[in-house]
Structure 1
Amino acid sequence: MPRISGENLQQHREQLQRRVFVAFAELMAERSFDAITMALIAERAELGRTAIYHHFRDKEAVVVAFATHETEQYVAQLREAMQGSSDPVAQLRTYLRHHLEAGEQFHMGLGPQLYGILPPSSRQAIREHVVAVEDVLREILRSGVDAGAFRIDDLDGTLSLVHACLSPRHLPAGTIETFVLGAVGAAG
């Protein structure tokens, strides 16, 4: 019977999962998704070739679990950064800054690269995690409209446009922030 790391089975599973996620992220930085195999992930995570299958049925399951983990961490850090502020303008600034600062850490371009490769069920599962992040922005925008701090006619359209503005990493954060705040009608 394999030895468990950690004080109990739950800790062992969490540690193993972290190793798999680190291995997966490293491999994604080095090669395409198609070139990654479960054997490569297992080797990089220092697991036996068959042991990984006790935790993930295939590499698509690794992607979905990885996206779940990353999103949960991202949203928790975002909510922590926004804690204590009820001002929608300040919350939107925090959201924008957090997204731009943490974007490299959490968003390694999984969406566009994998969209056409993953089966529909995996794409849907990952989409649900994107919605969790969108929900935070939706709450901020609604709160701003309700408080009279933002002028928004189409909430869903604005949400999509704000996220589109956060994609170009080559622009200064201040430029993006000023543009988005102006676009929602917030006083500078």
Structure 2
Amino acid sequence: MPKIQAPTVAEHRARQRRAILAAAREILAENGTQAPSLAEVGKRTGLARPSVYQYFRSREDLLNAVITDMFPEWSAYVTQQMDRATDPGGRVLAYVEANLHLVAQGEHAVMRGLASSASGTVLAEESRTLHHQLRTPLVAALADHGATDPDSAAELIQAVVYASSQMIENGTPEPAVVALTRELLCPYLRQQH
């Protein structure tokens, strides 16, 4: 019987589950489009494949757990960064920079891997929830800033985030991309409409 590495069995199981999810995310970030097998995840965490099956019934079950674990964390991070800003323009910049930071940390690669490997139903539902959670404070910040059509302005900001994300994923350092997005967006965000 394996040795318990926590004060209680429940804490041990929670730690093991977190380790499995973290390993799956790492492998997805490294591979980009190939979902990890439970054996690969077990090897990464130091667990035998049968032990991984005690936590997840299948690869799809594991990927769905990664989705439901990851998306709220992404949303919470972006919202937290936006909440630190003191004015509407700063909240918009915080939105952009927080998303780019997560991309630079490999989270977007994990999302790409999930998109090519995970169940369409769970991924689509969680993606809609994430985009709604992210879009709502962005639209509000743009409205507070005075945008005449905050919904359309949010689409344009998202296009900048997407293009900037591609630059990071193609090797441009995060600070250089952030500087370019600031150069592009700051003139607009300094103006009150």
Q: Same fold (TM over 0.5)?
A: yes
Kindly report which structure 2 residues correspond to 1:9-88, keeping only aligned pairs within 5 A, or say none.
9-31=9-31, 34=34, 36-88=36-88
CA-based RMSD of the aligned residues comes to 3.0
Q: Which moved more, 1:13-22 or 1:136-145?
A: 136-145
Measured after TM superposition, the shift of residue 29 of structure 1 is 4.7
Residue 173 (structure 1) aligned to one of 155, 171, 178: 178
Structure-2 change in CA distance of 1:34 and 1:78 (3 Å): closer
Structure-2 change in CA distance of 1:179 and 1:135 (3 Å): farther
Q: Is the 8 A contact 2:21 2:66 kept in 1?
A: yes
User: Number of paired residues?
Assistant: 183
**Per-residue deviation, residues 20-61 of structure 1 (Å, max 9, x unmatched):** 123223433554654732112112212222121121122222
Structure-2 change in CA distance of 1:149 and 1:11 (3 Å): farther
Instruction: For structure 1, list consecutive stretches of 5 or more residues without a partner in the other structure.
Output: none
**TM-score under structure 2 normalisation?**
0.74
Which residue of structure 1 aligns with residue 146 of structure 2?
Answer: 149
Query: What SS does the aligned partner of 1:56 have?
Result: coil
Structure number with the bigger relative contact order (C-alpha 8 A, sep ≥ 6) is 2
Structure-2 change in CA distance of 1:65 and 1:57 (3 Å): same
Q: Is the 8 A contact 2:20 2:41 kept in 1?
A: yes
**Per-residue deviation, residues 89-148 of structure 1 (Å, max 9, x unmatched):** 1111112222222322251413434434433224324424632xx523432322331x34
Percent of pairs with identical residues? 17
Instruction: For structure 2, list consecutive stretches of 5 or more residues without a partner in the other structure.
Output: none
Query: Which residue identity does 1:82 align to in structure 2?
Result: M
**TM-score under structure 1 normalisation?**
0.75
Q: Is the 8 A contact 1:162 1:180 kept in 2?
A: no
Structure-2 change in CA distance of 1:76 and 1:7 (3 Å): farther
